[in-house]
A and B are shown apart, each in its own frame.
Chain A
């Protein structure tokens, strides 16, 4: 099985090298999409088994993820794994994430931060926000409430599933969009527990609580564009 990781990265110099090195033992190849970084992200990502692509201008995490996914398909991936560049995901979780697809039981597997494994350093406000997002997802997007993590960034999908999920949100709303597309399609999906570690660094650069409003707006406007 050709398992290819996709890592969108924007100004992750200094962090991305360690993330990629830690993930490589579990993947055949990694596609890094440098999303118009102004630092040395692309240079730091250059290593064996890594394909570095570059957006000439910043287009957002969702856009970079889509570019990376299309690249992985072109490179002949059987399974595609989406990962964050800042190292908040644990690479050791990758085998459990892809196992249901390898076994042919599922098409898409979402890593959940809320299935028993305590998220390290997750602020209380963030946990509280997740409850709100979950309710919003159910009411407005029709995403089942069985989904324990409404904003998961770590996911794996078979090549055929990746081809059939036309996610088009360029920015942060892609996570909710993918959940909606997958859970409302005929694709078989499951959640598996994953570790997540929030550091001062990842919290500073990652999503803010107020971004929830931006996501709602992006999804709303997105609903009128086809």
Chain B
């Protein structure tokens, strides 16, 4: 199927990219191997979808497609939560800036009114 060909080509490109980065000394050998493992796993799942059924049965989920969906959802929730945390951190930085500015008025002796 066309979708399988496209996906496998994408995974292959990523494998090439991983080793290119290793050669550029951007990532370590271990990292390159780990990435390669991930891309190969993606390609295997693409070419032989039944393999997910095997992994799914190992963890007690009925179908491989369900397992992929569950994992994808878990990843999504994690990423959304990360976004919340980063957003909250930005809010705190904003508050710090606003507070610093406000308190500098006090140091300059120019708050609204002081007895």
A110 to chain B, nearest CB (A): 24
Cβ–Cβ < 8 Å partners of B106 in chain A: 51, 53, 71, 74-75
Closest residue of chain A to B87 (Cβ to Cβ) is: A221
Interface size on B, residues (CB 8 A): 21
Contact A53 B98 (CB under 8 A): no
Interface of B, helix, strand, loop or mixed by DSSP: helix
Output the least CB separation between A57 and chain B (Å). Answer: 6
Partner of B94, one of A34, A59, A71: A59
Once bound together, how far apart are the Cα atoms of A55 and B103, in whole Å?
A: 9
Chain B positions within 8 Å of A168 at CB level: 92
Residues of chain A contacted by B89 (CB below 8 angstroms): 225
Q: Does A93 contact B (CB under 8 A)?
A: no
Instruction: Report if A49-B88 is in contact (Cβ < 8 Å); known contacts: A33-B102, A67-B102, A70-B103.
Output: no
A54 touches B105 (CB 8 A): yes
Interface range for A: 20 to 34
Q: Mostly helix, strand, loop or mixed at chain A's interface?
A: mixed
Q: Tell me whether A170 and B92 are in contact in the complex, defined as CB-CB below 8 angstroms, given that A42-B112, A54-B112, A74-B106 are known contacts.
A: yes
**Minimal beta-carbon separation of A132 from chain B (angstroms):** 24
Taking CB atoms, residues of chain B closer than 8 Å to A225 are 85, 88-89, 92
12 extra interface residue pairs, beta carbon distance < 8 Å, beyond A53-B105, A55-B98: A32-B112, A47-B113, A48-B115, A53-B103, A57-B94, A67-B99, A70-B103, A71-B102, A74-B107, A75-B106, A168-B92, A222-B88
13 example contacts (A-B, Cβ-Cβ < 8 A) are as follows A32-B112, A33-B102, A51-B111, A53-B105, A54-B111, A55-B102, A56-B102, A57-B98, A59-B95, A63-B95, A63-B99, A67-B103, A74-B106
